[in-house]
Amino acid sequence: MGKLSIVATPIGNLGDLTFRALWNMKEATVIYAEDTRVISKLLSHYGLRKTVLRLDAATETKKVPEITARLEAGEHVVYVSDAGTPGVSDPGARLVAAVREQLPEATIEAIPGPSALTAALSIAGLSSDQFLFLGFLPHKKGRQTALKDIAHCTFPVVLYESPHRILKLLTELGKFAPKSRVTIARELTKIHEEVLVGDPLELAEKLEKKKAVRGEFVVIIESQK
């Protein structure tokens, strides 16, 4: 019986790949990736040439029979998402659940490493003994309820947000939780890494002053202290 390794990859800085991640990708029979181009760049940075096949959110369930067949044949299958830890606001969870159910004797192992969630918390300077991670807020249905819940949450709430929606989010937080302390961790591990702290509207103003709101964002909201 083969092995499925769920491998975390860098969130920007290619130097953040762990030795174990590298070793697993080197040893793997095949690597499945959310985007083959992203992982090919990482592999070539480390001088590895491997077969990379696509497995994204749209194909995750469809590819299960192919992967279980490989595991039954004794192969070592690696799965990587575009960046960070698979399964954290990324594909991977449905694959793991299906393999665990259909091939209970297969080994599924975590190769831990970077995640924007833990990287942001590590430099936010707040007590992270307890926090609520909500990933990306829903765009429409359930958004207002989520914003109200955030405003009443007694511990920090961590969100992921894209550059074209960050100002909208801050404006909404300005309405639902105007006095909250918001920390934005932007472009983590990259050249323009930056942490901004303030109330939602202060931060929206700061970002608006920048020529373009670029990058990837982790937003941490402390509503009730």
List interacting residues with ligand SAM (CB under 6 A): 11-12, 81, 83-85, 88-90, 115-117, 160-162, 185-190, 216-218
E strand spans, the chain:
3-7, 30-33, 52-54, 76-80, 107-111, 132-135, 157-161, 181-186, 194-198, 217-222
- Closer to ligand SAM at the Cβ: 42 or 218? 218
97/91 Cα distance (integer angstroms): 12
CA neighbor of 80 nearest in space, from 120, 116, 53, 119: 53
- Closer to ligand SAM at the Cβ: 77 or 188? 188
CB of 22 to ligand SAM, least distance (A): 18
- Closer to ligand SAM at the Cβ: 78 or 103? 78
CB of 6 to ligand SAM, least distance (A): 11
49/152 Cα distance (integer angstroms): 50
Question: Which string of b and e fits 205-222 if b means at least 16 CB within 10 Å?
Answer: eebeeeeebebbbbbbbb
CB of 104 to ligand SAM, least distance (A): 26
Q: Give the residue at shortest CB distance from ligand SAM.
A: 84
CB of 173 to ligand SAM, least distance (A): 15
Query: What 8-state DSSP symbol labels residue 56?
Result: -
CB of 193 to ligand SAM, least distance (A): 7
**φ/ψ of residue 193, rounded to 5:** -55, 135
- Closer to ligand SAM at the Cβ: 30 or 88? 88
